[in-house]
Structure 1
Amino acid sequence: MKKYLLIFCLAISQFAAAQPYEPRWESVDSRPVPAWFAEARFGIFIHWGLYSVPAWATVDKAIATHPVYSEWYWWQKNTDTSRVGDATRAYHKATYGDDFKYPDFVRDFKAERFDPAAWADLFAASGAKYVVLTSKHHEGFALWPSAEAWNWNSVDVGPHRDLAGELSEAVREKGLRMGFYYSLYEWYNPIYLNDVDRYVEQHMLPQMKDLVCRYSPDILWTDGEWEHPSSTWRSEEFLAWLYNESPVRETVVVNDRWGKETRGRHGGFYTTEYDLDSSHAANMSAAAHPWEECRGIGNSFGYNRAETLEHYSSTQQLIVTLIERVARGGNLLLDVGPKADGTIPLVMQERLLGIGAWMGVNGEAIYGTEPWDKAAQNKADGVFFTTKGDDLYVLYTKPQAVLTLKGVATPRRADILGAEARVRCAASKGGVRLTLPAEVLRDAQERPQVVRLAGALR
């Protein structure tokens, strides 16, 4: 009897060891975010779906005082009762006619020019270390052969291609990590609208597990959580499965959008959206917790044909955005919105290549870095700091001829990344004084310049 009891106890202990996370927030929140995420610092977001066919949202400031997302076209056309909805309905009627229904866009979502290898080359050239594709947005259309989305996925209809699978393979061949955005809810799914518990049980959970088991993503980026608490979505249950049993249990990273109460409180890394300066975002950067801001190159995530150059951030602005987020301990997930034919707009390609050129010279001040704990007391206009080991990086987004830093040792070496010009470094009371040469000050007006102070934090 004792022998069998011992075997039973050993079996139970082994099962417990193999199942360290329980389906409750206190337990799943205890899982550390895998280190690769914070080391990467820069990723590419991709919003691509049927909304890429109309590819339209109003940019009229008299109608909307804030940017309108083109990927919400279907909802704005059918449900939005504001002036934005009126503008969308007027556009749809004038362009497609009253009888043209949103699902009819599938015939023009062909992706005939989609070249996953070319996309992966572009993302690698941008300096990004990971990619997140919208596997399914709120419209419910899946970019893989999902059984739960029969005849409403990119293999059954439209392109007749496994877009998620093809891109995953190409991205990983370039040495980048691959992840998926997934919307928990679907605007007009009749099961969701009539019985959310059945939707979660028979549609959402099986679909997410299929996505994980089929492609082994490095990131699962959920959204559309706001209509219900995490208990309705059974998020704790799913995350326990993800961390205990799934094929990516050791490496997968998730965000914080798992229920209407979870942002900035539960899940993996915390998220902000176009909005570092909000109180919510301020809490993210103040917390000793991984976080990420997502934003588009333009005002929308999905491609918006109504946007002009004035709506797109410049390369300089995007690099500064990246620097600001990383200096506060965050990541930047920068979005591109491909067209329905599978091409990425040239202005977006140009911006990514510009970021990549800068990262090729200055990436060591971004990848694998941490915020400087004395940054606040050394605050200067347009100057940010990152650290790696005992090195301090000073990132100038605006020219500063002379900068005095407190709380640092005289560095073993002070140099400017990618430049032969020397920075003058002199001991000052309680720190050091840096003086940039004229040519570096001039260059700083065009692109941020980085000074590396080797050994300054020893």
Structure 2
Amino acid sequence: MPALGARSEAVGVLLLLLLVLGVADLAPRARHPTQSQRRYTPDWPSLDSRPLPAWYDEAKFGVFVHWGVFSVPAWGSEWFWWHWKGEGLAPYQSFMNENYPPGFSYADFGPEFTARFYHPEEWASLFQAAGAKYVVLTTKHHEGFTNWPSPVSWNWNSKDVGPHRDLVGELGTALRKRCLPDILRVGTVWELEDEVSELHAFERHGLSSYLSAGSINQSPVLINNIYNRYKLSGDDVVVNDRWGRNTSCHHGGFYNCQDKYMPHSLPSHKWEMCTSIDKLSWGYRRNMVISEVVKESQIIKELIQTVSLGGNYLLNIGPTKDGLIIPIFQERLLAVGKWLSINGEAIYATKPWRVQLENMTSVWYTSKGSCVYAIFLHWPENGVLSLAFPITTSSTTITMLGIQEDLKWSTDPIKGLLINLPQLPPSALPVQFAWTVKLTGVK
């Protein structure tokens, strides 16, 4: 089973909320009718042949939300129930003995999961300000509690216990009201394998029979039905590689491979770097300290590196049991949004360039059409940026995102392209970390 702060290898499918909410009629029409009309078979060769919807590759940045009953004890990790009852780890047992009366069960946490200050419209506003193009919510974690009114959860859901609300549905509605479908999309994640329930969101649509005990090997059957039975196979549904054992980094529309996966070179398959602002947990922890919070510069650096290597960056937060997103998480998300407001052109809808990284330097490349973007993490002391790989032509022009004027440049047979950066004080620069030069007319 997972170690502290880790997520199960079986966790997760990234999926739009349309099915969960029972509002498939709100789905945007597929842009590629021939793709949505294609029939698949319940085997990995067939399912893996499905083209990845273009919106996902273009989105680049999403927000992950781990929220559930584990947000009540809010200690250790989101795998609180398993570490306490499954593994019987001493720190978790001591925590319970010191803070709760004898006989207190995990189910007793349910009524305390109130979501009293959960305002999905405020969440939507924050996620949009962060520059996210999709949002992924954990709708059911390892202990089986569903954040929507599931009729087969033995009353272990957010409608019957705790909030008495459809948390998933409310967030989906808020995001759709705030953002056009083509601007920000909504997804869900649930545990495919848990110790309490093997029944999931799709029971409303007759798919629960494929998910009886020990049925993780039936994952291709479930995915096949999603692709074929529901008309969401165009631009709507994407799935990852966490469909059970031996699927990670092998099967799915995109690969997570493992938590916080970051390849060293350009992968051949679409992938996603999934990470958390809290270094030690995905869910909210009351015992988190500032040294365990990832710095702004590290988050932006990971985003740049991920996109340069062809991936998407999914950044996780954990709300409190009341539905609050604590200020440090808000601050980190807004910092990303501020940076993207200037440099988003070099991130959204880009492709990897023929070179991803300058040798032994901190310059990462992306491309879009005829434009090449060089994102450099350290401002050169002499104010001249040296790039070895772009080949200039008579029509080459160079600008910095956030600065209107063209930049002067020259070439050197040894140092390559030399770009004279704006001579401005640090406070006058468009961003304080990671700047982008845009090159047009280069080979």
TM-score, length-normalised on structure 2? Answer: 0.83
Q: Which amino acid aligns with 1:288?
A: S
Q: How many Å separate the matches in 1 of 2:102 and 2:420?
A: 65
Q: How does 1:329-348 map to 2 (within 5 A)?
A: 329-348=310-329
CA displacement at 1:408 relative to structure 2: 2.4
CA displacement at 1:211 relative to structure 2: 7.9
CA displacement at 1:319 relative to structure 2: 1.1
**Does the Cα contact within 8 Å between 2:42 and 2:221 map onto a contact in 1?**
yes
CA displacement at 1:107 relative to structure 2: 1.2
Runs of 4 or more above 6 Å deviation:
none
- Choose from 146, 150, 156 the match for 2:154: 150
Q: How does 1:220-299 map to 2 (within 5 A)?
A: 232-250=216-234, 251-277=236-262, 281-282=263-264, 286-299=266-279
Q: How does 1:53-452 map to 2 (within 5 A)?
A: 53-57=72-76, 70-80=77-87, 85-175=89-179, 176-189=184-197, 199=198, 203-204=199-200, 207-208=201-202, 210=204, 232-250=216-234, 251-277=236-262, 281-282=263-264, 286-299=266-279, 300-376=281-357, 378-400=358-380, 401-410=384-393, 412-420=396-404, 423-429=407-413, 432-439=417-424, 446-452=432-438
Q: Which amino acid aligns with 1:389?
A: G
Q: How many Å separate the matches in 1 of 2:205 and 2:59?
A: 23
The Cα RMSD (Å) is 2.5
Q: How many Å separate the matches in 1 of 2:90 and 2:397?
A: 61
Q: 1:210–1:182: structure 2 CA closer, same or farther, 3 Å change rule?
A: farther
CA displacement at 1:240 relative to structure 2: 1.2
- SS of corresponding position for 1:451: strand
Q: How many Å separate the matches in 2 of 1:178 and 1:79?
A: 32
**Does the Cα contact within 8 Å between 2:241 and 2:253 map onto a contact in 1?**
yes
Q: 1:160–1:233: structure 2 CA closer, same or farther, 3 Å change rule?
A: farther
- SS of corresponding position for 1:71: coil
Q: 1:361–1:342: structure 2 CA closer, same or farther, 3 Å change rule?
A: same
Q: How many Å separate the matches in 2 of 1:345 and 1:19?
A: 45
The residue that corresponds to 1:40 in the other structure is 59
Q: How many Å separate the matches in 1 of 2:177 and 2:359?
A: 41
CA displacement at 1:273 relative to structure 2: 4.6
- SS of corresponding position for 2:57: helix
Q: How many Å separate the matches in 2 of 1:373 and 1:276?
A: 22
Q: Deviations over 1:177-214 (max 9, x none)?
A: 0000011111244xxxxxxxxx5xxx34xx3353899x
- Size of the alignment, in residue pairs? 392
**Does the Cα contact within 8 Å between 1:396 and 1:444 map onto a contact in 2?**
no
Q: Rg bigger for which structure?
A: 1
**Does the Cα contact within 8 Å between 2:126 and 2:334 map onto a contact in 1?**
yes
Q: Which amino acid aligns with 1:340?
A: K
- SS of corresponding position for 2:40: coil
The residue that corresponds to 1:20 in the other structure is 39
Q: How many Å separate the matches in 1 of 2:431 and 2:174?
A: 37
Q: Which amino acid aligns with 2:223?
A: L
TM-score, length-normalised on structure 1? Answer: 0.80
Among all aligned residue pairs of Structure 1 and Structure 2, give the percentage whose two residues are the same amino acid: 39
Matched, 1:453 2:439: yes
- SS of corresponding position for 1:243: helix
Select the structure that is richer in helix.
Answer: 1
Q: Deviations over 1:145-184 (max 9, x none)?
A: 1112131000111100000000001112222100000111
**Does the Cα contact within 8 Å between 2:61 and 2:133 map onto a contact in 1?**
yes
Q: How many Å separate the matches in 2 of 1:262 and 1:413?
A: 46
**Does the Cα contact within 8 Å between 1:381 and 1:398 map onto a contact in 2?**
no
- SS of corresponding position for 1:334: strand
**Does the Cα contact within 8 Å between 1:255 and 1:269 map onto a contact in 2?**
yes
**Does the Cα contact within 8 Å between 1:397 and 1:447 map onto a contact in 2?**
yes
- SS of corresponding position for 2:110: helix
Q: Which amino acid aligns with 1:456?
A: V
Q: Deviations over 1:17-74 (max 9, x none)?
A: 95521111110100011010010000000000000011001xxxxxxxxxxxx11011
CA displacement at 1:272 relative to structure 2: 4.4
**Does the Cα contact within 8 Å between 2:342 and 2:430 map onto a contact in 1?**
no
CA displacement at 1:432 relative to structure 2: 2.5
**Does the Cα contact within 8 Å between 1:403 and 1:435 map onto a contact in 2?**
no
> What are structure 1's unaligned runs of at least 5 residues?
1-16, 58-69, 190-198, 214-226
> What are structure 2's unaligned runs of at least 5 residues?
1-35, 208-212
**Does the Cα contact within 8 Å between 2:124 and 2:178 map onto a contact in 1?**
yes
**Does the Cα contact within 8 Å between 1:417 and 1:451 map onto a contact in 2?**
yes
CA displacement at 1:286 relative to structure 2: 3.3
